[in-house]
Copies of this chain bind each other. A is one copy, B any other.
Amino acid sequence: MSKTDPGNYFEDFKLGQELKHATPRTVTSGDVTLYGALYGSRFAVQSSDAFARAIGYDHAPIDDLLVFHIVFGKTVPDISLNAVANLGYADCRFLRAVFPGDTLATTSVVIGLRENSNGKTGVVYVRSCGTNQHGQAVLEYTRWVMVRKRDPSSPAPSPHLPDLADRVAPDVLGRALPELDPSAYDTALAGSAHLWGAYEPGERIDHVDGMTIEEAEHQLATRLYQNTAKVHFDLNQQKDSRFGRRLIYGGHVISLARALSFNGLQNAFHVAAINGGRHVAPCFAGDTVYAWSQVLEKCELPDRSDVGALRIRTIATKDHLCADFPTKGDDGKDHPSTILDLDYWVVMPR
């Protein structure tokens, strides 16, 4: 048996199988710094202990997407080392705030399997759960990936497709938030007077700013998350790939788009859930990323008068300013500049 991890192939996955992923990782203020320097996020709650304490936290919480990337990174060696494509996410819920000093670990359960008709690959559905050092769930999400078979002649499993909700129901949002004191929420310090009430379904926001990505930046980020997917790091082998260069981790683009979205969603400091998302096109070093958002839904949360939820669709583009809100054309095709189409819930003070 090889001591080098070959990753799992499609036939290695069994329905109901539980995977306990390496490596547990303590999140610290150092991670907060580097994450901030990589994306330039400016949400006041995550930036300032003083601001967070004033409204009801014990301490500034870790950025939700940093938690996501760390929890996700651990699954790569077991789930997607032999993946052909990362197909989708669903029902991603942020369940509990994470603070510096907390240690994150991840487990996954195989919840669906379907071999492709070509007999060479199959789709694996997993439900992954990130936990803290007390064993409490901080994050859960469903992900499906197309994985190579080690041996094309191995038999196909009985196909099983999990039910995938279109969106996370709003009544489960807000669990990761303490009861906030809205009177202590200083909108000048937060960067905008536009609270939850100021947003309306259908509204579109051009986030205006752009960020050009460097190779060193996405490599630092992806290693920060202990994500081991080779395509992000190995130029020597990528030279001979379809793209001829290193591919940027899709989560890096999500975090960039989220940081850009501050300019227009300044008080949307908490990502409560991700309903789904598509990495529409690959992103490479040298690309400049822009983003715009549309408010899809606006919901109150049960028993919470302090905060409300907005369902947001954020589209990120490369080398294309978003003043024209680029989206799918009449032919149903994405605008050619699109790299990300993300559907998620944010929570904002009311």
A residues engaging B (CB < 8 A)? Answer: 3-5, 20, 22-26, 28-34, 36-40, 42-44, 47-51, 60, 77, 100-101, 103, 105, 133, 188-192, 194, 198-199, 205-212, 214-217, 219-224, 226, 228, 230, 233-237, 246, 263-266, 286, 288, 319, 321
- Residue in B22, B28, B236, B265 whose CB lies within 8 Å of A288: B236
Alpha-carbon gap, A260 to B5, bound state (A): 12
Q: List 15 A-B contacts (CB under 8 A).
A: A3-B265, A4-B263, A23-B43, A23-B189, A24-B47, A30-B31, A30-B34, A47-B226, A49-B103, A105-B189, A209-B228, A210-B234, A216-B216, A228-B263, A235-B288
- Give the CA-CA distance A212 to B220 in the complex, in Å: 12
Give, as a whole number of angstroms, the nearest-CB distance from A33 to chain B: 3
Given the interface contacts A47-B24, A217-B219, A264-B3, does A319 sit within 8 Å of B236 by beta carbon?
A: yes
Contact (Cβ within 8 A) B206 A4: yes
- Output the nearest chain B residue to A6 by Cβ-Cβ distance: B208
Known: A23-B44, A33-B33, A77-B191. A212 touches B234 (CB 8 A): yes
Q: Say whether A48 contacts B60, CB under 8 Å.
A: no
Residues of B within 8 A of A26 (CB): 47-50, 60
User: Once the chains are docked, how many angstroms separate the CA of A288 from the CA of B236?
Assistant: 6
B23 touches A33 (CB 8 A): no
Q: How many Å from the CB of A333 to the closest CB on chain B?
A: 22
Q: Are A191 and B23 neighbours in the complex by a CB distance under 8 Å? A: yes
A187 → chain B closest CB, angstroms: 9
Is B36 in contact with A190, judged by CB distance below 8 angstroms?
no
- When distances are taken between beta carbons in the complex, the residues of chain B under 8 Å from A23 are 42-44, 47-48, 189-191
Of B51, B212, B215, B235, which is within 8 A of A103 by CB?
A: B51
Q: Are A236 and B223 in contact (CB under 8 A)?
A: no
> Among the listed B24, B42, B219, B286, which residue makes an inter-chain contact with A48, where contact means beta carbons less than 8 Å apart?
B24
Contact B33 A224, beta carbon cutoff 8 Å: yes
Other A-B pairs, 7, CB within 8 Å; known A40-B223, A210-B237, A216-B220: A25-B48, A37-B221, A37-B223, A49-B103, A50-B103, A210-B236, A215-B216
With A28-B33, A288-B236 given, is the CB distance from A228 to B189 under 8 Å? no
Partner of A234, one of B22, B33, B209, B219: B209
Of chain B, the residue at the smallest CB distance from A104 is B48
A344 to chain B, nearest CB (A): 17
Residue in contact with A211 in the complex, picked from B208, B224, B234, CB distance below 8 Å: B234
* Complex contacts, A44 vs chain B, CB 8 Å: 22-24
Known A-B contacts A22-B266, A28-B32, A190-B22; the reply to A219 vs B214 at CB < 8 A is yes
In the bound complex, CA of A100 to CA of B30 (Å) = 11
Measured in the bound complex, the distance between the Cα atoms of B188 and A22 in whole Å is 6
A222 to B36, CA, bound (A): 10
